Amino acid sequence: MDQRRLYRTIEKITNQPAETEEQILINVLKEVVASPEFNVKGGRIWKLTPSKTKYKLIAQEGAIDKIREGFTINVSDYPIFEVIAKERTVLATETNEYLRKKGIFKYSATGVGEKVKGEKFPLYQYLMAFSADEINEDLFYTLNIIGTALTATLRNRKLERKSKQLIEDIDDAAELQKRILPAHDFKFSGYEMFGVSIPDRIVGGDFFDYLEVGEDGDRLGVVVADVANKGFAAAAEAFYVSAALRMGASYQTQLSSLMKRLNNLVYKIFPNDRFVSLFYIELTSDGSGYCTYCNAGHNSPILFRSKTKSIELLESTGPLIGPAYNSKFKTSIVKLEKDDFLVIYTDGISEAMNEEGEEYGEARLIEKVKELQDKSAKEITQLLIEDVQKYSARAVYSDDKTIVTLKRVE
């Protein structure tokens, strides 16, 4: 399953009604074990005890022998827990004889919730472990996404509980977010741009920006990013990522190096909510139309070719920003001819739902783009947003929505 779609799937599961955070974890455990997409045969949730020396089994699902209720494992018997504290997710061999008798020989485990201080190293509040016929790298990445999504959800619940105390600051937060967004329209050396970002809540995790690269004024970066979260937590990370990009662009850093540094900063600063998808394209004033871009796990921007009336998708050139330290990001080059235009958008556009739960979808978006081929960048953006908003007006679930249209006009 695509990383971004997997994250959204888990996020939708966690939106189901639940009175406690443990119930949220149990809902996810049941859905993951039951779904053939995840390809696991059983799973367990372990909760750190108040003594911080043991984990207690609080839930189990799947076609495996049941572990006795209230069973605990000692932290000291599992050196692998120190690796989990550092890397969140591990693939491991079970060493507990009782669990091995239950048919658990190999497992993948991921940390969930806040990390607390243990006797020798930090420990997650919860561990979610899964058994499968094949314990491989795909399961590792799947669990990493699940752990991150659940941690973000639990953290958000705590923030939401505190939000009533912060109500007087909401207007200030919304105003602050507006400051990180540039003016909607921008012109640069034969290109015109127009962007709109609409948060699902008062503040959100989407943003776009136009960045002057270096001091010579001959290059411009256009970025659209989506923090995989909502509300205040997402806005805080968006502020940080936006500022880091502006600073990095000012030093004329190579694009691949800029993405790698940004990734490592996000990994270090946001240990609980560290997913960012991002598309960055750099324009030049030399009139050639050649542009360098990096797609870090983001939706593929839609490129409309004016001469051939055809569509190209600028696929991912690197992973999501944040999940893994020292990730590598490649760049690619695209040439924009006169009247070609690029629509860069976040998944709140393509995944917008109508009241029946049907997604707007990439195919519908592409057809709408084709209809608007003779419009200006401003008109394209505004009419696309308008169409999506009408489509999703009665939906129960929604997300931040951002579109930036970049058109070569000379």
Structural domains in the chain plus CATH codes = 3-163 (3.30.450.40), 181-408 (3.60.40.10)
- Do 52 and 115 form a contact (C-beta atoms < 8 A)? no
Residues sharing a CB contact under 8 Å with residue 56, sequence separation 6 or more, in sequence order: 46, 47, 49, 70, 71, 72
Indicate if the pLDDT at residue 189 is higher than 60: yes
Which residue would you say has higher pLDDT here, 180 or 268?
Answer: 268
Are the C-beta atoms of 387 and 379 separated by less than 8 Å? Answer: no
- Phi, psi (degrees; rounded to nearest 5) at 266: -60, -40
pTM: 0.62
Would you state the structure tokens that stand for residue 73, as one six-digit string?
A: 């494992």
Q: Which has more pLDDT, 219 or 166?
A: 219
pLDDT (tens digit, 9 = 90+) per residue, 136-153? Answer: 777 788 888 888 888 888
Cα-based angle 388, 394, 400 (whole degrees, multiple of 5): 50
pLDDT at 392 exceeding the cut of 80: yes
Class of residue 182 by CB neighbours under 10 A (exposed 0-12, middle 13-18, buried 19+): middle
Percent of the chain with pLDDT over 70: 92
With beta carbons less than 8 A apart as the criterion, state whether 353 and 389 touch.
Answer: no
pLDDT at 11: 75
Q: What is the pLDDT of residues 90-121, one digit of tens each?
A: 988 889 999 999 988 888 899 999 999 999 99
Decide: helix, strand or coil at residue 157.
Answer: helix
Tokens standing for 315? 């696929």
Instruction: With both helix axes pointing from N to C terminus, report the angle between 255-269 and 231-250 in degrees, rounded to the nearest 10.
Output: 140
Tokens in use for 165? Answer: 């105390």
Q: Any idea what DSSP says for residue 163?
A: G
Q: What is the pLDDT of residues 10-54, one digit of tens each?
A: 777 777 777 788 998 998 899 888 888 777 888 999 999 999 999
Rg (CA), the chain: 23
